């Protein structure tokens, strides 16, 4: 038994408390403290990766299990598989860059109303989100997972509503009203999904209590009992429970048509908080589809697959089409993310090893590429004070490094070969084609649309004559380069050598496929047929 998983989640939580306790007058100390704790968490995530053996027997490693609420069968139970460990690493990698990128986003801003924003609170909330996301990835007790799945909404609500974007020609009252609307919409949508999931969690407990004699939320106990024939879900019951879980995860993901909170939340947030939303928090939804929906409810997952594939396809095309027509840079990136999440969910429910492996890899690569694009866009917006695409032009002539890194991040977003997202998107499409060729064929239109919205965005903002408000715009500074350069390097490295991730992911995907009782479809032409033809 080890406590490494607990420590990995506890360090950012302690960092949040320590950062919040820093006196308001010492806000620079609060920033450095938050950065130190985020780097410590990154180090612990690295230890997890080093200790994790992708070829070890059993689905989970580094496990911890302690009785918590005995009367209700709730346990403090943690464990990681290859999918969880790479997503914890993604979270730990991104949060230090979020802290660095938001270094001045919460500095006190004195206005006519003399209102000040607590700097230490901003960074404490970021660390608290990190702690809750990490333990959600680690939890193998369904009730424990649910607690942190819902609890992470609270710090995110305050980050969106209390530390929103300052760009745009708006009065303080107008900006506050729009931030409040975005934060409340985010909270209500996700709470609605969470309440439906809570009913399903209670239903799961009732079924296990009836059939096993003692109710349990332990994922491992449930899977073992089902494998031994001691637990069986009636078809109607299993499908109802699956829908309760899936709806909550689809809202978090987000999947069309329960996606509408995301564009508002990302647009009204600061760029680092927008990264926290789409690159970190939303991954909990797609991760949970793999860990809980497919493994707990295999028959219902196969039953719901045709509808989910169609919803994923709509998300891909709808998000891409709306991204093409956007005039707001951050809103464009938000709709692009909806399209990318459509690809991730498509890969999960393609029910092939290539699809699910590609979907997991896509979660990581989308997190890195979207973080790079959104943070560079945030640096751009902070210089001009506007999110509107039409307010830019000729930036590459006055800030070539900013424009160059923006181009690389944009090309990664459209999955250019040689950059990390290409590998994962290719695997998703191959996995989908092998079982659902029509769905896979239509989904490729999302690639064409991605090229359109990314290249048009770059053309309108970075090329052409230098607009007067852009003239004199400074290039990336040292702190900003420290944020952007590692992300670009990761996109390049994982684009040509994804094996460090795939060797972790593939065994976990194989386990998930076994739980769902699915195998990859055989190719239409067998090897012996080829030999016979010769």
| Residue 79, H or E segment | strand 74-80
Percent helix, strand, coil in the chain (nearest 5)? 75, 5, 20
Q: Is the pLDDT of residue 151 over 50?
A: yes
Residue 14 has a pLDDT of 96
What does the DSSP 8-state code read for residue 72?
G
Calculated CA dihedral for residues 337, 476, 423, 249, nearest 10 degrees: -30
Torsion (CA) 30, 35, 40, 43 in degrees, nearest 10: 180
> Is 453 within 8 Å of 336 (Cβ atoms)?
yes
Does the pLDDT value for residue 73 go beyond 70?
yes
Q: Which residue, among 462, 146, 461, 399, has the nearest Cα to 291 in the 3D structure?
A: 146
Q: Are 264 and 185 in contact (CB under 8 A)?
A: yes
pLDDT in tens, 454-487: 999 999 999 988 888 888 899 999 999 999 999 9
Give percent of the chain above pLDDT 90. 75
* Segment holding 67, helix H or strand E: strand 61-69
Q: Which two tokens stand for residue 243?
A: 């829908």
pLDDT at 276 over 90: yes
pLDDT band at 529 (very low <50, low <70, confident <90, very high): low
Complete DSSP assignment for 257-316: TS-THHHHHHHHB-HHHHHIIIIIITHHHHHHIIIIIHHH-HHHHHHHHHHHHHHHHHHH
Q: What percent of the chain has pLDDT over 70?
A: 94
Could you read off the pLDDT of 91-119 as tens digits, one per residue?
999 999 999 999 887 776 554 344 445 78
Does the pLDDT of residue 71 top 90, yes or no?
A: no
Q: What per-residue confidence (pLDDT) applies to 1? A: 44
Classify residue 63 as exposed, middle or buried by CB count within 10 Å of its CB (0-12, 13-18, 19+).
middle
Among 210-214, 254-258, 507-511, the range scoring the smallest mean pLDDT is 210-214
Q: Tokens for 502, please give them.
A: 């795939």
**What residue segments make up the domains of the chain, in order of their start?**
302-522
| Radius of gyration of the chain, Cα coordinates, nearest whole angstrom | 23
Q: Which residue has the tokens 């998000």?
A: 319
- Which residues 6+ apart lie within 8 Å of 431 measured at CB? 347, 350, 352, 353, 354, 355, 356, 357, 358
**Residue 214 confidence (pLDDT) above 80:** yes
pLDDT of residue 446: 93
- With a CB cutoff of 8 Å and minimum separation 6, the contacts of 237 are 203, 207
Question: Which pLDDT score, from 0 to 100, does residue 286 have?
Answer: 96
What would the pLDDT profile of 17-54 be if each residue is shown by its tens digit? 999 998 877 888 999 999 999 999 999 999 999 999 98
246, pLDDT greater than 50:
yes
pTM: 0.92
- Summarize pLDDT for 283-318 with one digit per residue, the tens: 999 999 999 999 999 999 999 999 999 999 999 999
Q: What is the pLDDT of residues 156-194, one digit of tens each?
A: 999 998 887 766 666 777 777 888 899 999 999 999 999
Q: How does the average pLDDT of the chain come out, rounded?
A: 90
Tens-digit pLDDT profile for residues 374-395: 999 999 998 888 899 988 989 9
Q: Which of 465, 365, 354 is nearest to 418 (CA)?
A: 365
* Pairwise CA distance, residues 303 & 323, whole Å: 32
On whether the CB atoms of residues 315 and 347 are closer than 8 A, the answer is: no
């Amino acid at each position: 038994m080890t406590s490494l998983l607990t420590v990995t989640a506890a360090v950012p939580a302690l960092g949040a408390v320590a950062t919040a306790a820093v006196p308001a007058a010492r806000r620079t100390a609060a920033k450095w403290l938050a950065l130190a704790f985020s780097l410590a968490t990154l180090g612990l995530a690295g230890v997890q990766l080093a200790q994790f053996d992708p070829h070890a027997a059993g689905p989970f490693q580094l496990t911890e299990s302690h009785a918590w609420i005995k009367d209700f069968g709730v346990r403090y139970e943690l464990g990681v598989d290859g999918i969880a460990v790479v997503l914890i690493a993604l979270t730990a990698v991104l949060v230090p860059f979020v802290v660095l990128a938001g270094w001045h986003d919460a500095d006190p801003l004195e206005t006519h109303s003399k209102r000040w924003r607590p700097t230490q609170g901003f960074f404490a909330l970021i660390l608290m989100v990190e702690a809750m996301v990490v333990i959600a990835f680690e939890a193998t007790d369904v009730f424990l997972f649910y607690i942190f799945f819902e609890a992470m909404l609270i710090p995110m609500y305050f980050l969106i509503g209390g530390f929103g974007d300052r760009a745009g020609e708006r009065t303080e009252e107008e900006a506050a009203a729009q931030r409040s609307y975005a934060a409340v919409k985010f909270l209500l949508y996700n709470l609605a999904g969470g309440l439906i999931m809570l009913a399903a969690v209670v239903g799961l407990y009732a079924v296990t209590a009836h059939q096993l004699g003692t109710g349990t939320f332990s994922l491992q106990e449930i899977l073992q009992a089902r494998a031994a024939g001691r637990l069986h879900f009636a078809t109607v019951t299993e499908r109802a429970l699956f829908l309760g879980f899936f709806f909550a995860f689809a809202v978090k993901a987000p999947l069309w048509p329960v996606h509408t909170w995301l564009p508002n939340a990302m647009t009204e947030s600061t760029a680092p908080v927008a990264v926290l939303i789409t690159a970190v928090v939303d991954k909990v939804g797609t991760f949970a589809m793999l860990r809980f929906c497919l493994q707990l409810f295999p028959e219902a997952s196969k039953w719901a697959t045709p509808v989910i594939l169609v919803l994923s396809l709509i998300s891909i095309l709808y998000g891409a089409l709306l991204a093409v027509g956007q005039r707001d840079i951050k809103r464009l990136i938000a709709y692009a993310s909806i399209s990318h999440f459509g690809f991730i969910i498509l890969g999960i429910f393609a029910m092939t090893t290539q699809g699910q492996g590609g979907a997991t890899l896509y979660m990581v690569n989308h997190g890195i590429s979207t973080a790079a694009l959104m943070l560079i866009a945030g640096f751009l917006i902070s210089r001009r004070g506007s999110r509107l695409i039409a307010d830019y032009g000729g930036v590459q002539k006055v800030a070539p490094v900013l424009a160059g890194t923006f181009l690389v991040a944009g090309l990664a977003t459209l999955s250019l070969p040689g950059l990390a997202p290409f590998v994962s998107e290719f695997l998703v499409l191959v996995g989908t084609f092998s079982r659902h060729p029509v769905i896979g064929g239509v989904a490729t239109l999302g690639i064409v649309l991605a090229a359109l919205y990314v290249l048009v965005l770059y053309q309108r903002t970075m090329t052409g004559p230098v607009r007067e408000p852009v003239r004199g715009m400074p290039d990336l500074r040292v702190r900003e380069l420290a944020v952007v350069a590692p992300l670009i390097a990761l996109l390049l490295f994982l684009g040509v050598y994804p094996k460090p991730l795939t060797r972790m992911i593939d065994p976990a995907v194989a386990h998930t496929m076994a739980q769902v009782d699915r195998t990859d479809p055989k190719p239409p032409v067998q090897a012996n047929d080829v030999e016979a033809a010769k």
